[in-house]
């Protein structure tokens, strides 16, 4: 399999750094700094979420006997297939929450929505790490 997963690795690193900086003592003592770092976490979450979905789809297409079927699949079906193959830590019920957070992230001008996306980012980081580890160690 010849999929380059380096962009996902980079996105994971950026999301991890953003979360670390947003949770730092300095950020927690300065509301304006925290807001900027929270926005960074949200942007990194968006990018990592999108890449995770794309990499999962590419992997499933390359490993499928019928790539056209995978290409035509709904996102929910891609998550189901990924879960069946042990590529994902969580099932559709959790990925649906991540998907809603991604949808909400385009409305970060709403402080409550932004905070909810920020709060889910660390859990998604673990999900995306799990996916990356599985994708890069599969035969």
Q: Which active-site residues does the annotation give? A: 102, 107
Among residues 15, 17, 30, which one has the least CA distance to residue 127?
15
Q: What 3 state SS string does 12-43 have?
A: HHHHHHHHHHHCCHHHHCCHHHHHHHHHHHHH
Spatial neighbors of 87 by CB under 8 A, at least 6 apart, are: 56, 59, 131, 134, 135, 138
Residue 1: how many CB atoms within 10 A of its CB?
A: 9
In whole angstroms, what is the distance from residue 77 CA to residue 65 CA? 16
């Amino acid at each position: 399999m010849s999929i380059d997963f380096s962009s996902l690795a980079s996105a994971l690193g950026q999301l991890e750094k953003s979360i670390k900086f947003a949770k730092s003592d300095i950020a927690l003592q300065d509301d304006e700094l925290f807001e900027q770092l929270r926005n960074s976490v949200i942007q990194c979450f968006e990018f990592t979420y999108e890449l995770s979905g794309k990499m999962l789809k590419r992997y499933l297409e390359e490993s499928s006997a019928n790539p056209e079927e995978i290409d035509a699949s709904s996102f929910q079906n891609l998550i189901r297939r990924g879960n069946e193959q042990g590529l994902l830590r969580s099932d559709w019920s959790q990925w649906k929450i991540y998907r809603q957070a991604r949808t909400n992230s385009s409305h970060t001008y709403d402080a409550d929505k932004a905070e909810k996306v920020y709060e889910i980012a660390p859990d998604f980081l673990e999900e995306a790490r799990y996916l990356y580890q599985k994708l890069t160690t599969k035969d």
